[in-house]
Structure 1
């Protein structure tokens, strides 16, 4: 069924799927990001971190939607930063299935799996480029 599609196109499609996950996460939590961008002197460190997370998410979306490998670099900052600092899941609504007691663990596991998937995807893309050269 999907065997007639060249492997390189499937990898680019999976890369664009990662970009869509990041876009959904940014849109879903835009209110929290806008609220955090209101500058006050007492919370300058968290605001600067949130600005960096927002910028890295936008750059990652741009690179991944264009199918470029450099889009993975800001993604590798974005996923752990979103997990640790903002505590929201890249795959929305799944942590809500679990009880509130396990909500944070579910977010870490989901985002960890997305990070692992993105690393494997980049490795596969690099492998296909190596094979195509020779």
Structure 2
């Protein structure tokens, strides 16, 4: 193979469509732009969502609520997940390595879903009031 012999693969290159070159070409006269109107003219176009002056869809529809950007840093862990984890001491790093919370999580809260029979000590992890009572009843503690 020589450098002067390299060429694109078969069918990789094709001629650019030449519009507006007479009726025989099949795309002459209006060149596929239809008749009249803003979109038929050179330089005439509009911004995304523009509906010809009519109130655009994104402004007609009502807005409700919002989604906090801090949600990705918060995580929840259930009591049943703690039970399956089977560790005596649980902290944020242990939950991340077990895959119970995402790697971006900074704040973790234990919620009361399921049962807990073993004593678990929580370090730097919050718990709901109901979950706290279950943890302490099982002999665990929250630090």
Q: Same fold (TM over 0.5)?
A: no
Rg larger in structure: 2
Higher share in strand:
2
Higher share in helix:
1
With the length of structure 1 as denominator, give the TM-score of the two structures.
Answer: 0.21
Which structure is higher in RCO with an 8 Å CA cutoff and minimum separation 6? Answer: 1
With the length of structure 2 as denominator, give the TM-score of the two structures.
Answer: 0.20
